Amino acid sequence: MDSSNKWTIMGGISSPDGGQSINGTMQLYSIEHKQQQIIEGFTPSFADANIDPTYKSSIVCFIGKKSSETQSFVHINEIGVPKPGSNKLKIKKPISYSPDVAMDFPVIMQPSEKYGVIFMISKMGYLFIFEMATGETIFRNRISNDLVFCSAKNTSNDGILCINRKGQVLSVAIDEEKVIPYILNSCGHIPDNVGLAFKMAQRSNLPGADELFVKQFNQLLAQADYSGAARVAISAPGDLLRNMNTINKFRTLPQAQGQPQPLLQYFSELLNGSGKLNAIESMELVKRVLEQNRKNLIEEWIKNDKLEITDELGELINRYDPQLALSIFIRKGNPEKVVQGFVQTGQFEQIIPFCKRSNYNPDFVGIITKVCPVNPEAALNLAKLACNREGGKQPMADVNQVFQIFMGFNRIQEGTAFLLEALAGNRSEEAHLQTQLFEMNIKFAPKVAEAIFQMKMFTHYDKVKIAQLCEQQQLFARALENYTDINDIRRVILNTHVLKKEEIVEFLGSLDPQQALACLYDLLKSNRQNLQIVIDSAVAYNETIPTMDLIKLFETFGAFNGIFFFVSNILNTCEDPEVYFKFIEASVKLGNFREVERVIRETQHYDPVKVKDFLKEFRLQDPRPLIYLCDMHGFVDELTRYLYKNGQSRYIEAYLYRVNIQATPAVMGTLLDLDAEESFIRKIMGGITMCNVEELVDEFDKRNKLKFLQGWLEARASEHNEDPAIHTALAKIYVSTAKEPQKFLEANNFYDSKIVGKYCEDIDPHLSVLAYKKAKGACDQELIELTNKHYLYRIQAKYLVERQDVELWKEVLQEENPHRKQLVEQVVQSALPDTKNADEVSVTVKAFIEADLPHELIDLLDKIVLHTSEFSNIKHLQNLLIYTAIKSAKDRVMDYINRLENFDGHKLAKYALEPENNLFEEAFAIYTKINEPELAVDVLLSKIGDLERSSIFAEKINDPMVWSKLGQAQLNSDMVSEAIASYIKANDPTSFVMVIGAAEREEKYDELIQFLKMAREQMKEPMVDGELIYAYAKVGSLNDIEEFINQTNSADIGRCGDRCYDEKLWEAGKLLYSHAGNNGRLASCLVHLKQFQAALEAAKKANTPKTWKEVSCACVRAREFRLAAVAGMNILIHPDHLEDLIDQYELFGYYEELISLLENGLGGERSHIGLYTELGVLYAKYMPKRLMDHLRTYFQKVNIPKLLRACETYQMWNEAVFLYSHYDEFDNAIQTMMDHSPSAWQHDLFVQNIQKVANSDLYYRAMGFYLEENPLLLNDLLISIANKVDLTKAVSEMRKLGFLILIEQFLRTVQIQNISAVNEALNEIYIENEDHESLRTSVTEFDNFDQIMLAKKVESHELLEFRRIAALMYRKNKKYLESIRLSQKDELYKVNILVIHRMPWKQLKKARSQTQLKDS
Kindly indicate the confidence band of residue 61, based on its pLDDT and cuts at 50, 70 and 90. very high
Q: Of how many residues is the chain composed?
A: 1416
Kindly indicate the confidence band of residue 159, based on its pLDDT and cuts at 50, 70 and 90. very high
**Sign of torsion, CA 1067 1068 1073 1075?**
positive
Regarding predicted confidence, which is higher, 1108 or 950? 1108
Percent of the chain with pLDDT over 90: 5
Q: Does residue 943 have a pLDDT over 90? A: no
Kindly indicate the confidence band of residue 1406, based on its pLDDT and cuts at 50, 70 and 90. low
Per-residue model confidence as pLDDT tens digits over 1311-1333: 888 888 888 888 888 888 888 88
pLDDT of residue 1095: 84
Per-residue model confidence as pLDDT tens digits over 1102-1123: 888 888 888 888 888 888 888 8
Regarding predicted confidence, which is higher, 371 or 467? 467
Q: Does residue 135 have a pLDDT over 80? A: yes
Label the pairing between strands 23-30 and 7-14: antiparallel
Per-residue model confidence as pLDDT tens digits over 1066-1086: 888 888 888 888 888 888 888
Percent of the chain with pLDDT over 70: 95
Per-residue model confidence as pLDDT tens digits over 1235-1246: 998 888 999 899
pLDDT of residue 1065: 85
Q: Does residue 1407 have a pLDDT over 60? A: no
Phi, psi angles (nearest 5°) of residue 630: -65, -35
- Identify the three-state secondary structure at position 11: strand
pLDDT of residue 1389: 64
> Among 1387, 1402, 1400, 1398, which residue's Cα sits nearest to residue 1413?
1387
Per-residue model confidence as pLDDT tens digits over 1191-1208: 888 888 888 888 989 998
DSSP secondary structure string for all residues of 435-501: HHHHHHHHHH-HHHHHHHHHHT----S-HHHHHHHHHHTT-HHHHHHH--SHHHHHHHTT-TTTS-H
- Identify the three-state secondary structure at position 738: coil
Lowest mean pLDDT among 273-282, 598-607, 1149-1158: 273-282
pLDDT of residue 119: 94
What is the per-residue burial (b if ≥16 Cβ within 10 Å, else e) of 23-35?
Answer: bbebebeeeeeee
- Local structure of residue 7 (DSSP, 8 states): E
**Whether 1181 contacts 1210, CB under 8 Å:** yes
- The pLDDT of 226-240, averaged and rounded, is 78
Quick one: how far is CA 1323 from the chain centroid? 78
Q: Does residue 684 have a pLDDT over 90? A: no
Q: Does residue 173 have a pLDDT over 90? A: yes
> Among 393, 316, 392, 402, which residue's Cα sits nearest to residue 365?
402
Q: Helices 1169-1182 and 1200-1209 meet at what angle, rounded to 10?
A: 10
pLDDT of residue 753: 84
- The pLDDT of 604-614, averaged and rounded, is 84
Lowest mean pLDDT among 551-565, 660-674, 741-755, 1386-1400: 1386-1400
Average pLDDT value over all residues in the chain: 82
Per-residue model confidence as pLDDT tens digits over 95-131: 988 766 767 889 999 999 888 999 999 988 899 999 9
Per-residue model confidence as pLDDT tens digits over 805-822: 888 888 888 888 888 888
- The pLDDT of 140-167, averaged and rounded, is 89
Per-residue model confidence as pLDDT tens digits over 1030-1068: 888 888 888 888 888 888 888 888 888 888 888 888 888
pLDDT of residue 75: 93
Determine the Cα–Cα distance for residues 1030 and 463; give it in Å rounded to an integer. Answer: 115
Regarding predicted confidence, which is higher, 797 or 31? 31
> Among 1105, 1062, 1063, 1070, which residue's Cα sits nearest to residue 1087?
1070
- The pLDDT of 392-416, averaged and rounded, is 80
Taking only Cα atoms into account, the Rg of the chain, rounded to an integer number of angstroms, comes to 63
pLDDT of residue 1414: 42
Q: Does residue 1001 have a pLDDT over 90? A: no
pLDDT of residue 19: 66
pLDDT of residue 805: 85
pLDDT of residue 27: 92
Lowest mean pLDDT among 556-565, 1299-1308, 1335-1344, 1393-1402: 1393-1402
Lowest mean pLDDT among 119-128, 870-879, 1349-1358: 870-879
- The pLDDT of 403-416, averaged and rounded, is 81
| Three-state SS sequence of 1270-1305 | CHHHHHHHHHHCCCCCCHHHHHHHHHHHCCHHHHHH
- The pLDDT of 732-756, averaged and rounded, is 82
Stated as kind and residue range, the H or E segment containing 23 is: strand 23-30
Q: Does residue 453 have a pLDDT over 60? A: yes
**Whether 286 contacts 294, CB under 8 Å:** no
Per-residue model confidence as pLDDT tens digits over 1162-1221: 877 778 888 888 889 998 889 998 888 888 888 888 888 889 899 989 899 998 999 998
Kindly indicate the confidence band of residue 1415, based on its pLDDT and cuts at 50, 70 and 90. very low
